[in-house]
Structure 1
Amino acid sequence: MTKPSPLDAGQMRRRTSPGSLRFETTAELEEIDDIIGQERALEAIRLGIGIRRPGYNLFVLGPAGTGKHTAVRRFLSRTAERERPPPDWCYVHNFKDAYRPRFLRLPSGRGAGLRADLDRFIAELRASIPAAFESDEFRGRLQALEAALKDRQEQALGAVQAEAEGKGVALIRTPMGFAFAPARRGEVISPEDFRQIPQAEQERIRQTIEVLQKRLQAALEEFPRWEREHRQKVRELQQETIRYAVGHTIAELRRSHADLPDVAAHLDAMEADIVENAEELMRPPGMPQPFPPGAQLTVDGSLLESPALRRYRVNVLVDNGGCSGAPVIYEDNPAHANLIGRIEHMSQFGALATDFLLIKGGALHRANGGYLVVDAAKLLMQPLAYDQLKRALRAREIAIESLAQALSLISTVSLEPEAIPLDVKVLLVGERHLYYLLTAYDPEFPELFKIAADFEDELERTDESAMLYARLIATIGRREGLKPFTREAVMEAIDHASQMAGDAEKVSAHMRGVADVLREADFLAGEAAAVEATDVIAAVEGQVRRQARLRDRIQEAIARRSLLVDTEGARVGQINGLSVSQIGQMAFGHPVRITARVRMGRGGVLDIEREAKLGGPIHTKGVMILSGFLAERFLPDKPLTLSASLVFEQSYGGVEGDSASLAELIALLSALSGVPIRQELGITGSVNQHGAVQPIGGVNEKIEGFFDVCARRGFAEGNGVLIPASNVVNLMLRRDVVATREEGRFHIYPVESVDEAVALMLGRPAGIREDGRFPPESVNGLVETRLDGFAEAARRFGSNGAAGPRGDEEKA
């Protein structure tokens, strides 16, 4: 088997072809309206928006910065423009139950008109009611009613008085009421004179007074009934007067809103209430009155001058009069109250009071008849907001209640506004893990959010797509007010997008990151007319430099030998594995020494990282695969009498992933064969039980990490890195790495199997089995001989009755 050849410099970094970009600067390019490369997600959005059925809400998922919000808003804006504006929503006083305000659904723009009409009506009412009650006609009729009552009372008393005078008895009015006394010729007889009258006459007078008292009592008992009749007549007079005073105004309101049956019904109820409460409306404004349901407060919390009139106002919850299409609402703070609305309170006379005019709408009210966009993570962080949203979508109505009411923390009397019918399309925007968690743990979620619009992390990189990407850069630049970008600058930006994707055949869909580079490059261009390639390169390098403190500290530790890594010479059972770390937004690679030690035993391969509880499950799986590979290749018919230990030297944190399994296997083969490993090479890759090398992630960062170590120490003969051959398409290395390859000082070797890696790392062929055995001087032959020796020694120990070395067999 021949050794793999190193890659050419052109295979280490793909450059955008100048011929694919047919312009001098982006000023020549047209803007692009759609998000490029997201056809799958846009198709899902079109489907979800188009289906007007319950449950067909959308969850727009994908990593942050891929333009999800931009795409959604742009698509919704275009769709909403073609739709009719939704109705206005108002709350009005419920004359049957003041604590349950009613809603009115009005055509778009009519809510403000109705409010203005009723405000004018109330203003007229404030003037017309006092004027009507102060008119001469009303006063005259009221005085006539009062005179009639008085005459009736006087006639009743006069009849009793006349009868009494005819029988020699006088009717006397005292501060305590009425009394009868004996009289002679119209004069009341004194008690002394009365005693001088004969006894029979005294008795007759007493009996007469008793009869007269009964008649007086009968007359006085009629007084309350007459007064009630009088009050009823006065009330009817007041109602007639008010009906006359407001009738023509309400008639005009009815004519203005004759096409709205709900408004007409409300005007009828309002007129009946005005007539029914005429006496209350007559009350002078200065008189103290309780805070009634439906009372309106001024800004400073004081009562207006006519509390009884406040309930005739209109609370316009949503005014769509200025909309040219369906509303598109993005709620940045989807708290419970901001989402479904709230009922505000004001301090009045030392207590909190409210009314229907203090009902405030939420995002669902504003988006009703249109679209609501909410960030899923922000929604889930707000108490009960997600539950209330689901409740509204299930019931298809918006019921306003406070968070305290929803949690049953209070039991005080409050308003219960009539629930408003809901017709809205909700789009939750969030990352994929939120979608998968909600799908797994919330049974209602798939029923309410049936459509998933999944945004791609990466886009295809072709010569045809390069022009689209260039137009996207031009669009971002114009919207951000940036200078034009030259063709070479666009080429560098596309190359950087490919670096961000970690793939030579892809570009990153993380538009936020691309836009950040464009802004910084524009700043670095200064007063120049256009942004050049050097500005883009400087912006990219500046971003890395600002976040590279930890990377530089690790490189410094390796250079000072605080972290032991050899970049020349050869060592048995010691190899340079490559690791990648993610700190914040910065991913960087660095080498790590991996060592292997072997001895006879029956424990297999011991993963020290796992035993120290520093190894993750994927890393442990990779190590356990090595035992299967060794047994299948070298001892298919014999027990594996091997105890080996593997460790990441100077590793003080967790180790996860299987990208070091190839390095660990070669370290084991070196320890078993005794053939030293070339330390000028680093290696990364995953391996399966058949010895095939599998692709890994972070290949560019790992190569650059080992490159930086070699560069600090000075390149030794043969420095380079082994990578899986399937990772070649992912290479988008830094320019200095490519330049060093062109000088022949750093190499990258693609390998497809363990045997190819062994030939490079150990400097001799791995060996192919012939006639049942590997060549004795090959690496595989030496390993096979060593393992056979372990097996024979173990057999001898067993035949002698000895226990045999167990090694770490329980720990593999």
Structure 2
Amino acid sequence: MTSMNGFKTKRKLNTDHLKARCQTDWIPFETTDDLKGDFHDMIGQERAEKAMAFGLGVKQAGYNLFVVGPTGTGRVTYTIQTVRRLAKERPVPSDWCYVYNFDDPDRPFLIPFPSGKGHVFRRDMETLLLDIEREIRTAFSTDEFEAEKRKRIDSFKSQVENAWRKIDSFANEKGIYVEKSPDGINTYPMSEGKALTNEAFMNLPEDKKDELLRADDQVEEQIQDTIQHIQKLEEDLRKSLHTFMQSTVSYAIEGLFRPLRESYKDRQRVLQYLDSYFDDVVDHFSLFFPENDQQEQLVTQLGGPKEKQFLRYTVNVFVNHRDRTSAPVVYETNPTFDNLFGRIEYQGQLGNMTTDFTKIKPGALHLANGGYLILQANELFQHPHAWSALKRVLQARKIQFEHPHENKGMFPSSGMKPQPVPLDIKIIIIGSYMIYDLLSQVDEDFDKLFNVKVEFDTHMDRSEDNALKMFHFIKYFCKEEGLLPFHKKAAARIVDYSSRMVSEQLKLTTRFQEITQILIEANYYASEELQDAVMDEHVVKAFYEKEKRVSHIPERYREMIHSGRIMIETEGFRTGQINGLAVLGSRDAVFGIPSKITAQTFAGKQGIVNIEREASLSGQFHEKGMLILTGFLSGLFAKNRPIPLSASITFEQSYALIDGDSASSTELYVLLSSLSGCPINQGIAVTGSVNQWGEIQPIGGVNEKIEGFFRICQQRGLNGQQGVIIPKQNVEQLMLHDDVIEAVNGQRFSVWAIEHIAEGLEILTDQPSGYDPLNPASPFPEGTIFARAERRFDEMYEETNSENESL
């Protein structure tokens, strides 16, 4: 059995254990300005770099990327920089143009062009339209056109006049006079070459009147036949003139289309569009006709002013890569439905909402097509329908225009369905672990569409190579932000701070966003002193000032402890009372505070009563820790008979939910103190969980816990008898503040690291535990803590049995 003083000395940590320090003798510069070499844009993320390269390199469908990791690790910056670097090696994708579909106006026609050629095609079509208008106007104003037109009209007039002459001759033969006037055609009976009045007609003999009436009917019938004939002649004239004008237009503009067909001979869709364009101009030549009456007629036929009708001949350059030299990279920070998938704009007109193919606008998917689209997961899932629509697009490999509320009557329905755009894109979503895990569990399509997980870590090994990379980062950031250079001692303190951030002596943080805050603040203090470089004292000041700015809540706790409102003792010995350590967190700070834990033991069979549980203030993990205590006590003291134990344990002045098992060793200490009657040094606080074998297990927040108790003792006055007991496994997480280390070095404060509950008992009570780690089943020596506890169990067992016998 090891003596009590042996454990107290053997398990005490020296200052070398309390913090890892970056030595400066190997650093190859005086200030970061002297540092040679280039900065690597990613440090300590080899796994993420390999996954990113793999995901971006695979061309097959489904290998989109989901980048996970906490903020501040550079995941967004690295993703954008990597994608842009890779995009430079890929060709510029096609331009896309929407044109009028002359066969089905509600289905605009989609035409791809080589990058930068979309606007050339639009310019060609604009020039073509102007040339067509000019050529048609010219063709319709030539003497040849007018002569041919007049010839056809004169022929029509001649036929009409001949038809009326035949009517007049036939009427004269029948004794009927035909009168043509603006009001119509009238017939009158004649006698001796003169039209008869009604009175003269009535004085005629009856047979003569009947003869003239029959003749009038015959003339009327002939007139109707002639009118129908003239109407047919008019229709033939209109058709003839229309055909003649169409042939004139066709002949006039054919030469305009010939060079375009030659220029775009390798693009079948363009040739198809030019053929439809040509036919439509020939069919609707009146749109270009200089006469107002013809224009007005066309407005009635096509429904709108001339300018609106000319839109049918324009080109909507939907996606234009004219100024691009590589594949596109789009980082969409506001991924609404319209911003992602495009939209069809509407315009109010006479109380109605109207649209046309020129109002089709692209979204981020269209602009990034042929390249890369980067999205933030938390922004994407704030917009309804965006995620489900994105999945449909990736599965179909084409972008179909739609509006999520159109079928609900919340948006005007135009009936326009543009041709979908074929999709060739790599999508990178940046999000948290929670979103990634949730999608993996509840969305069966997620793993099929996002096969590559790019995981950013928060830690990297603390090696000279990584430290040197961090120095390069400091130099790069200082130049980018216009900061003073950092002296090598100051740079070394930054490395130490990096380990403090992850509470690991052998690790460095990869959350460089927090590192940059210290760089800026240390530069501020150096600039105030008019220094040429940032020194180590400026970095240390930045550390402490940053903590001080967010230390309002821990200071209030310490004030309440110092004033006695929260009852914590840091001197003397008490039986059944101990100081446990907990970690609390505010919005921007994490800090440790001591908590008084007390225990009462008495004879009975109730077992260990957790007062927090009875008050519904105990979490599941804390309950597990309490059950482990029962297992340990039963295994140690119930070898020959059951434990007749009743005990109550509580966290004094605690009114919030308690969870976690980091106080289980503390609760075991206080139970054994109450059972054995051995008082505990109140100047020593304890943290650590315990298993059923009494072995101490590691916990979290070890630095904050030690410093929290140290501040209380420091405020009351360090006496050399105070300290904190921690699990041995937590030693490598120690990155304590310099004032704690100085106190340990001056033997005013101590930190012990233990492996078994017996070691902690001896440190706390200055008495031997009686536990032999080489022979745990051996009897406990008289006078030791475990022997006294075992004797107390025997007494309680006898008392319980005697009570049962008396009953």
TM-score (norm 1): 0.94
Asked whether 1:217 is paired with 2:220, we answer: no
Superposed, 1:168-207 pairs within 5 Å as: 168-207=175-214
Q: Determine the structure 1 residue equivalent to 2:102.
A: 95
CA distance in 2, matches of 1:125, 1:33: 60
- SS of corresponding position for 1:329: strand
Q: Determine the structure 1 residue equivalent to 2:540.
A: 537
Asked whether 1:243 is paired with 2:232, we answer: no
Asked whether 1:706 is paired with 2:709, we answer: yes
Taking a change above 3 Å as real, the CA distance of residues 151 and 291 of structure 1, as seen in their structure-2 partners, is closer
In the TM superposition, residue 404 of structure 1 has moved relative to its aligned partner by 1.3
Superposed, 1:462-501 pairs within 5 Å as: 462-501=463-502
2:277 to 226, 245, 270: 270
2:32 to 1, 26, 35: 26
Deviates further, 251-260 or 436-445: 251-260
Deviates further, 594-603 or 87-96: 594-603
Asked whether 1:776 is paired with 2:806, we answer: no
Asked whether 1:726 is paired with 2:729, we answer: yes
Q: Is the 8 A contact 1:20 1:467 kept in 2?
A: no
CA distance in 1, matches of 2:278, 2:48: 55
Asked whether 1:787 is paired with 2:789, we answer: no
Q: Is the 8 A contact 1:98 1:293 kept in 2?
A: no
Aligned-partner residue type, residue 424 of structure 1: I
- SS of corresponding position for 1:567: coil
CA distance in 1, matches of 2:540, 2:408: 56
Q: Determine the structure 2 residue equivalent to 1:735.
A: 738
1:639 to 639, 642, 665: 642
Q: Determine the structure 2 residue equivalent to 1:300.
A: none
In the TM superposition, residue 400 of structure 1 has moved relative to its aligned partner by 1.6
Deviates further, 478-487 or 107-116: 478-487
Aligned-partner residue type, residue 523 of structure 1: Y
Superposed, 1:632-711 pairs within 5 Å as: 632-711=635-714
In the TM superposition, residue 562 of structure 1 has moved relative to its aligned partner by 1.2
Deviates further, 769-778 or 556-565: 769-778
Q: Is the 8 A contact 1:238 1:279 kept in 2?
A: no
In the TM superposition, residue 294 of structure 1 has moved relative to its aligned partner by 11
In the TM superposition, residue 93 of structure 1 has moved relative to its aligned partner by 1.4
In the TM superposition, residue 143 of structure 1 has moved relative to its aligned partner by 3.4
2:582 to 560, 579, 582: 579
1:566 to 538, 558, 569: 569
Asked whether 1:437 is paired with 2:443, we answer: no
2:614 to 611, 615, 618: 611
CA distance in 2, matches of 1:418, 1:356: 11
Aligned-partner residue type, residue 15 of structure 1: R
Deviations 1:411-433 (A, max 9, x none): 73342221111111111101111
CA distance in 1, matches of 2:605, 2:297: 98
In the TM superposition, residue 71 of structure 1 has moved relative to its aligned partner by 1.3
- SS of corresponding position for 2:790: helix
In the TM superposition, residue 794 of structure 1 has moved relative to its aligned partner by 2.2
Taking a change above 3 Å as real, the CA distance of residues 291 and 599 of structure 1, as seen in their structure-2 partners, is farther
In the TM superposition, residue 652 of structure 1 has moved relative to its aligned partner by 2.2
Q: Is the 8 A contact 1:368 1:422 kept in 2?
A: yes
Identity of aligned residues (%): 35
Aligned-partner residue type, residue 20 of structure 1: W
Aligned-partner residue type, residue 750 of structure 1: A
In the TM superposition, residue 265 of structure 1 has moved relative to its aligned partner by 1.3
Q: Determine the structure 1 residue equivalent to 2:389.
A: 388
1:74 to 71, 76, 81: 81
Q: Is the 8 A contact 1:112 1:319 kept in 2?
A: yes
Q: Determine the structure 2 residue equivalent to 1:516.
A: 517
Q: Is the 8 A contact 2:770 2:787 kept in 1?
A: yes
- SS of corresponding position for 2:678: coil
CA distance in 2, matches of 1:292, 1:697: 81
In the TM superposition, residue 135 of structure 1 has moved relative to its aligned partner by 4.2
Deviates further, 787-796 or 100-109: 787-796
1:15 to 12, 21, 26: 21
Taking a change above 3 Å as real, the CA distance of residues 294 and 191 of structure 1, as seen in their structure-2 partners, is closer
Q: Is the 8 A contact 2:287 2:298 kept in 1?
A: no
Q: Is the 8 A contact 1:329 1:367 kept in 2?
A: yes
Superposed, 1:547-558 pairs within 5 Å as: 547-558=550-561
CA distance in 2, matches of 1:564, 1:286: 97
Deviations 1:431-475 (A, max 9, x none): 111111111111111111111011111110012321122112222
Q: Determine the structure 1 residue equivalent to 2:125.
A: 118
Aligned-partner residue type, residue 668 of structure 2: L
In the TM superposition, residue 292 of structure 1 has moved relative to its aligned partner by 10
Q: Is the 8 A contact 1:345 1:352 kept in 2?
A: yes
2:172 to 143, 158, 165: 165
CA distance in 2, matches of 1:742, 1:595: 32
In the TM superposition, residue 681 of structure 1 has moved relative to its aligned partner by 0.7
Q: Determine the structure 2 residue equivalent to 1:370.
A: 371
In the TM superposition, residue 690 of structure 1 has moved relative to its aligned partner by 1.0
Taking a change above 3 Å as real, the CA distance of residues 154 and 646 of structure 1, as seen in their structure-2 partners, is farther
- SS of corresponding position for 1:707: helix
Aligned-partner residue type, residue 521 of structure 1: A
Q: Determine the structure 2 residue equivalent to 1:343.
A: 344
In the TM superposition, residue 231 of structure 1 has moved relative to its aligned partner by 2.1
Q: Is the 8 A contact 1:12 1:732 kept in 2?
A: yes
TM-score (norm 2): 0.94
CA distance in 2, matches of 1:229, 1:174: 25
Q: Is the 8 A contact 1:370 1:423 kept in 2?
A: yes
- SS of corresponding position for 1:19: coil
Deviations 1:5-35 (A, max 9, x none): 3111121111112133211221233332341
Q: Which runs of 5+ in 1 are unaligned?
A: 296-302, 802-812
Taking a change above 3 Å as real, the CA distance of residues 535 and 123 of structure 1, as seen in their structure-2 partners, is farther
Deviates further, 707-716 or 769-778: 769-778
In the TM superposition, residue 40 of structure 1 has moved relative to its aligned partner by 0.7
Q: Is the 8 A contact 2:95 2:321 kept in 1?
A: yes
Q: Determine the structure 1 residue equivalent to 2:158.
A: 151
CA distance in 2, matches of 1:417, 1:291: 26
- SS of corresponding position for 1:525: helix
In the TM superposition, residue 129 of structure 1 has moved relative to its aligned partner by 4.0
In the TM superposition, residue 45 of structure 1 has moved relative to its aligned partner by 0.9
Taking a change above 3 Å as real, the CA distance of residues 636 and 441 of structure 1, as seen in their structure-2 partners, is farther
Deviations 1:211-252 (A, max 9, x none): 222222122223333332222222223323332443333333
Taking a change above 3 Å as real, the CA distance of residues 49 and 166 of structure 1, as seen in their structure-2 partners, is same
Aligned-partner residue type, residue 795 of structure 1: N
Q: Is the 8 A contact 1:56 1:448 kept in 2?
A: yes
Superposed, 1:319-334 pairs within 5 Å as: 319-334=320-335
In the TM superposition, residue 273 of structure 1 has moved relative to its aligned partner by 1.4
Taking a change above 3 Å as real, the CA distance of residues 218 and 680 of structure 1, as seen in their structure-2 partners, is same
CA distance in 1, matches of 2:128, 2:32: 61
Deviates further, 377-386 or 159-168: 159-168
- SS of corresponding position for 1:403: coil
Q: Is the 8 A contact 1:294 1:356 kept in 2?
A: no
Aligned-partner residue type, residue 798 of structure 1: N
Q: Is the 8 A contact 1:38 1:456 kept in 2?
A: yes
Q: Is the 8 A contact 1:619 1:656 kept in 2?
A: yes
CA distance in 2, matches of 1:655, 1:141: 103
CA distance in 2, matches of 1:671, 1:133: 116
Aligned-partner residue type, residue 418 of structure 2: P
CA distance in 1, matches of 2:367, 2:622: 52
Q: Determine the structure 2 residue equivalent to 1:807.
A: none
CA distance in 2, matches of 1:64, 1:239: 68
Aligned-partner residue type, residue 17 of structure 2: Q
CA distance in 2, matches of 1:155, 1:636: 139
